[in-house]
Amino acid sequence: IVDKLKELYHNHVVEAEKRYHLHFNFKLPTDGEIKDSEFDATPMVLLIGQYSTGKTTFVNHLLGEEFPGMNIGPEPTTDKFMALFYGGDKDKDSSDDGNTLTVTRNLPFSSLSQFGSAFLNHFVGSSSSSPLLKRITFIDTPGVLSGEKQRINRTYDFAQVAKWFADRSDLILLLFDAHKLDISDEFKNVIDTISQHNGDKIRCVLNKADAVTREQLVRVYGSLMWSMGKIFDSPEVVRVYTGSYWNGSLVNNDFEHMFEKDEQLLVRELVDLPRCAAERKVNQMVNRIRLVKVHACILGTVRQMTPAFFGKKKTREEILNGLETVMDNVRVKFDLSKGDMPEPAEFAKCLDTFSDFSVFPPIDNTLIDRLNRLIEEDIPEIVND
């Protein structure tokens, strides 16, 4: 299935993305072109949290062993993004720097080069012989700092790098410390950034929950659910796994049974990721094609509204100021789903980066028909085969 999706994407979709300047200019999932190595990659799990929430210890606990580059302590210890993948017995205890990882063909990190040396110097890869890594790649991240430290002390855009990994991950785990649940504005910003197109992948892990009393745990759990409800602004509740993910014994045994059950459910979800990988890639491809079609309809209409010679500047202003009306008309004309339409304000920001709207191709009905056939005929045929 994955090979056929790859062929379908390269033959029919990527050209449309390039024609309408969608790569990096508009908020498509994964921003740029999907590379072959990303199609072929093992499922990826992204861990994000504020400092000292136990992200690295969590991975160590799941793997049952230490891994190269692991550094654990009460202060912020992980200062780099770390990709943890299977290397086989021969490559045990090996690590590579970010620049090497981006040019390694069988790894899905080549497009990280867009963030430059400022980020690549803070990105490392660690290969281990753990059996779990045959099925899953873990991405450990530096703790999200509070205040100006997050912006000034880091020479790269943390939120955008996190979004790059989130777009390509199969599961995103937000880790929280039951002792200190204060969610900083910077962490909220990171969650907002990564959740676009990725809301269904996000789970919460309430870690170190064995060191609080029954009453405290009930209050902390309720506070976390309330905070997540405000951040995600959704009626659906985010799944929360509660426990103490380290290799030591529990401090408080009151909730031992619940912790064990939650850990079993979490491990089951992780182990099932490879089995569901093809289905997820199908869903992501259908979603991407729908978004490409919507963007092609809107941008093609914008191009047709733009005069060939005189009045381009005035028309550009009118389009930007009345973009919501333009998008509503496009939605009705092409019978597009309201759920597929981008936010007018966000789309206007993206569109405003173009000084001349005549760079976009006009409406191409043949292309739109082809994209519709991909969704209605070609992809169902791939799945049924």
Mean pLDDT computed over every residue of the chain: 86
Residues of the chain above pLDDT 70, percent? 91
pLDDT for 259 equals: 86
CATH 3.40.50.300 assigned to domain 1-34+277-385? The reply is: no
Is the pLDDT at 148 greater than 90? The verdict is no
Is the pLDDT at 185 greater than 70? The verdict is yes
- pTM: predicted TM-score of the whole model, two decimal places: 0.84
Compute the average pLDDT of residues 351-360. Answer: 90
Kindly list the domain boundaries of the chain, sorted by start residue: 1-34+277-385, 42-254
Is the pLDDT at 129 greater than 90? The verdict is no
> Model confidence over 211-233: pLDDT tens digits?
778 888 889 889 888 888 888 87
Give the strand order in the sheet containing 44-49.
94-97, 123-128, 81-86, 137-140, 44-49, 171-177, 202-207, 240-242
> Model confidence over 255-288: pLDDT tens digits?
778 888 999 999 999 989 988 888 888 998 999 9
Compute the average pLDDT of residues 11-16. Answer: 92
pLDDT for 76 equals: 54
> What's domain 42-254's superfamily in CATH?
P-loop containing nucleotide triphosphate hydrolases (3.40.50.300)
> Model confidence over 152-172: pLDDT tens digits?
667 788 999 999 999 999 999
pLDDT for 375 equals: 94
**Tokens linked to 345:** 């304000």
24 or 35: which leads in pLDDT: 35
How confident is residue 92, by pLDDT bands cut at 50, 70 and 90? Answer: low
pLDDT for 74 equals: 52
Give residue 124's identity as a one-letter amino acid code.
Answer: V
Compute the average pLDDT of residues 373-383. Answer: 92
8 A C-beta contact, residue 124 and residue 98 = yes
